[in-house]
Structures are given as C-alpha cells and as structure tokens.
Amino acid sequence: MAKPEALLRVEADLEHGRVRSAIQRLGGLISAYPQDLELRARLADACRRAGDVPEAGRWGFLTEDAEPHEIAAFTRKNRSATDRLRLLHLHGEEPRGLGPLAQPRYAELAADAARTDVRPPKDDALPPVPRTASRPAAPAPPLGWSLVDLLTALAVFGPVTVVVCVVIYELVAAVFASPHP
C-alpha cells in the first residue's frame, strides 16, 4: 500500500475511533520510512489518544512535540540506552532533519548507548574448551522378575492383575530388547 493511501486510512481509522488500527498502520509505515519524523509525530499522537504514555515518548522522542513526561515514561520502561536506541527503529541510520530539541536528545542517547554497550568478546578471543573423555555408561539393571517382586505384586494387586502385567512387561521388554531392522 502506498504511503498517501495508508495515511488516508490512518485518518479514517482515527475519525472512527479505531486508534489501535491507526497505530498498527503507522508502525508499518515507520518500518518502511524510518527517517520520516512526521510519521513518528503522528504515531506519538495516536499513542497519546490510546493512553500509552511510554509509547508516545518512544515515537515522539525524535520530534519537537514530545512531552518531557512521555520521554521520562519511555526511559523508565526501557532503562537501557541501547534498548531505547534500538526501539527507535532507525536501522543503523542517524536521523536527518532533527530540530533543535530532538538533535541533542538523540546525540545524548547515542552517546549513552555507546558508553554503556557491553559486547561479548569475539569467538577467536575465547580460549578453547578442553575436551574430556566420556565415561562409559553404567550397565543397565537386568530385566526380569525376582521371586520377591512377584510375591509382593501378588499380595498387593491379586493374581490376575499380576499375571497380565508380567505378560505385558515381558512382551514390551522383548520388543525393545530385540534389534530393529
């Protein structure tokens, strides 16, 4: 769907009170046009209408009309600067055309993320893991019934039940003990 057509649908959704639909459409548009600050401002406004203050702060973060309490809510919800930077969905691009309030806000977040970003070491920097010889498995207990097992089962369950269970057990044991083709 083309951007102008999608924006018309967003407006129709908002006019009819379908705020969540408008939010979904605007989110899709931002995925396609991550640098479009007007889309971000519209999405922040839709989130305000839905009462989602942290998301209004997230999408309004790069716009001039972001309220301080919205940005604070976004920061409280996502404490890591790296996570907040990732959630802006810029796909590794530095935003263009930021206003005088948003430019320092973005620069500060990027610097925070760079300062606190802890990356795992590269694989070649890790020492090799020593291989240990595997131990042989313990031998399996012998299959079958001892006299004590049979007498106990007879006393507890009765002769018919025990005979049926022993036959079933021996059949299953024979099937699994034989080699399969």
> In this predicted structure, what is the pLDDT of residue 10?
92
- pTM to 2 decimals? 0.61
> In this predicted structure, what is the pLDDT of residue 146?
74
Same domain, 70 and 112: yes
Range of the domain at 46: 3-116
* Residue labelled with tokens 């309030």: 101
- Give the pLDDT of the chain (181 residues) as one tens digit per residue: 788 899 999 999 999 999 999 999 999 999 888 888 899 999 999 999 999 999 999 999 988 888 999 999 999 999 999 899 889 887 666 777 777 877 888 888 888 988 886 655 455 555 666 666 667 766 655 656 677 777 787 788 888 887 888 888 888 877 776 665 5
> In this predicted structure, what is the pLDDT of residue 50?
93
Q: Tell me which amino acid residue 40 is.
A: R
Same domain, 24 and 102: yes
Segment 49-64, tens digit of pLDDT: 999 999 999 999 988 8
Count of domains for the chain: 2
> In this predicted structure, what is the pLDDT of residue 115?
87
Q: Which of 142, 81, 74, 148 is nearest to 108 (CA)?
A: 81
Query: Which structure tokens are listed for 85?
Result: 């930077």
Query: Which structure tokens are listed for 86?
Result: 């990732």
3-state helix, strand, coil in the chain (%, to 5): 65, 0, 35
Tell which of 70, 100, 116 closes a domain: 116
Segment 155-180, tens digit of pLDDT: 888 888 878 888 888 888 777 766 65
Tell which of 116, 137, 165 closes a domain: 116
Same domain, 109 and 157: no
* CA 29 to chain centroid: 22
Could you tell me the CATH number of the domain that includes residue 18? Answer: 1.25.40
Q: Which of 119, 51, 113 is nearest to 87 (CA)?
A: 113
